[in-house]
Amino acid sequence: MAITRRTQIAILLTFVLTVTPKPAIADEGGVSFWIPGFFGSLAATPLQPGWSFTTFFYHTSVSAGADVAFARQVHRGNINVNLTGNLNISLRAPPDIQFFAPSYTFATPVLGGQASVFLLGGYGRNETSVSGTLTGGGPLGVTVSGGRSDTLWGFADLIPMVTLRWNKGVDNYMVYITGDIPVGAYDPNRLANLGIGHGAIDVGGSYSYFNPQTGHEFSASLGFTYNFENTFTNYKNGIDMHLDWGISQFLTKEWQLGFVGYFYDQISCDSGSGDRVGCFESRVIGIGPQIGHIFKIDDNYQGYVNLKGYKEFDAAHRPDGWNVWATLVISPAEEKKPPETKRPRIVK
């Protein structure tokens, strides 16, 4: 049985593009709507009422390699071939995205808590390259190499979020609901994308322990993502679970040092008629250092900068590597209580 060189390369690229995860916030391939590490320290602590603005730069450098034994149907265009063999894949995906999030915190309590609304958007660059070598077994007996690269500048999807927070001494609690509005740069025929091509809903909660007297702080945020089907590809991601955490020590009232981490795990299988890779549940763990600084802007506003980084390990069905977050928050300054005045003593 003969197979043409063109068909060999088509088979290789078909499988590469099917199993290759798009970076950061792309669709399918075991990569989630949720960006692991989005929450960190002080996640549930109270906010100052009024308008705030958050911006953060997100850079990740990930790669993936695999020697995957497979026996499945490969189908793309006019190709319909059963193939058993090995595939070595090399993936590089280093996107750079600047995110922006205006927010408003209400002064009037809601259900005894503090309500806030956010809208997250972003603009950046996604550069992805993939190469692979396919060694086919059985009657085909082919060995073929190929590769592809793609670069895209554009806007990411819009992500609204609503939070509700409660404070009781050193204990702080928060619940949230968020989701994806798929309006970002997305093309199912491209290797690099900045939108995910489908909607999603994510719900969860956070707990923060913060003692201003000792400077001890610990936060943990747990959430779950339900993904809607991508109508461009008929692919539906499974349900995702994500746990973000942060632990830190305030050395002074302004300076903070500590560690951050996350655990992301897909807890149900991918599905849909466009799913040609099976269950494809993915997982990754990340951990790294952080440093934060609070500074005064003027009598009405204060700033907070945070730099954190994660090294990933124990990844399954997704690329891993490292990522860095540089965050700036501008928010209303803490209201100062007027000094206590003593009544003048009347001398008779």
Residue 311 has pLDDT above 70, yes or no: yes
Q: 23 with 62: CB under 8 angstroms?
A: yes
Contact 303, 330 (CB under 8 A): yes
CA distance 34 to 196: 11
In a domain, 237, yes or no: yes
- Residue 338 is predicted with a pLDDT of 56
Does the pLDDT at position 29 exceed 80? no
State yes or no: pLDDT of 265 exceeds 60: yes
Name, of 88-102, 124-138, 140-154, 230-244, the range with top average pLDDT.
230-244
* Structure-derived torsion over alpha carbons of residues 203, 32, 67, 309, reported in degrees to the nearest 10: -90
Which residues, 6 or more positions from 249, have their beta carbon under 8 angstroms from its beta carbon? 215, 216, 217, 256, 257, 258
Q: What is the pLDDT of residue 191?
A: 75
Per-residue pLDDT at 70: 32
Backbone angles phi, psi at 312, to 5 degrees: -95, 150
Question: Which whole number is the average pLDDT over 10-27?
Answer: 38
Q: Long-range contacts: 109-113, Cβ < 8 Å, 24+?
A: 110/164, 111/164, 112/166, 113/164, 113/165, 113/166
The confidence score (pLDDT) of residue 319 equals 75
Checking if the pLDDT of 141 tops 60, the result is no
Q: pLDDT digit string (tens) for 190-248?
A: 777 888 889 999 999 999 999 999 999 999 999 999 999 999 888 898 999 999 999 99
Number of domains in the chain: 1
Q: Print the domain residue range for 225.
A: 39-64+103-127+152-332
Report the percent of the chain where pLDDT is more than 90. 55
**Region of poorest pLDDT, from 26-40, 45-59, 111-125, 128-142:** 128-142
pLDDT exceeds cutoff 50 at 176: yes
- Of 68-82, 182-196, 264-278, 324-338, the one with minimum mean pLDDT is 68-82
Range from 72-76, 334-338, 343-347 carrying the lowest mean pLDDT: 72-76
Number of neighbours of residue 110 by Cβ within 10 angstroms: 12
> Is residue 302 domain-resident?
yes
93 is a domain residue: no
Tell me what pLDDT residue 222 has: 98
Burial of 270 (0-12, 13-18, 19+ CB in 10 A): buried
Question: Is pLDDT at 96 greater than 70 in this prediction?
Answer: yes
Domain membership of residue 338 (yes or no) is no
Q: Examine residue 165 and state whether it is found in any structural domain, yes or no.
A: yes
pLDDT at res. 74: 29
Residue 73 belongs to some domain of the structure: no
The DSSP string of 158-196 is BEEEEEEEEEETTEEEEEEEEEEB--SS--TT-S--SS-
- pLDDT of 309 > 90? The answer is yes
CB atoms under 10 Å from CB of 84, counted, come to: 13
User: Kind and range of the H or E element at 202?
Assistant: strand 200-211
Query: For residue 201, is it within any domain?
Result: yes
Record the pTM.
0.79
Q: How far does Cα 250 stand from its chain's mean position?
A: 26
- CA-to-CA distance for 347 and 160, rounded, in angstroms? 63
Q: Which two tokens stand for residue 247?
A: 């632990």
| Averaged pLDDT score across all residues of the chain | 80
CATH number for 253: 2.40.160
Residue ranges of the alpha helices (H) in 51-131? none
Local confidence band at 152 (pLDDT 50, 70, 90 cut-offs): confident
| Angle in degrees, CA 79, 85, 89, rounded to 5 | 85
Does 14 map to a domain? no
| Banded model confidence at residue 334, pLDDT cuts 50, 70, 90 | confident
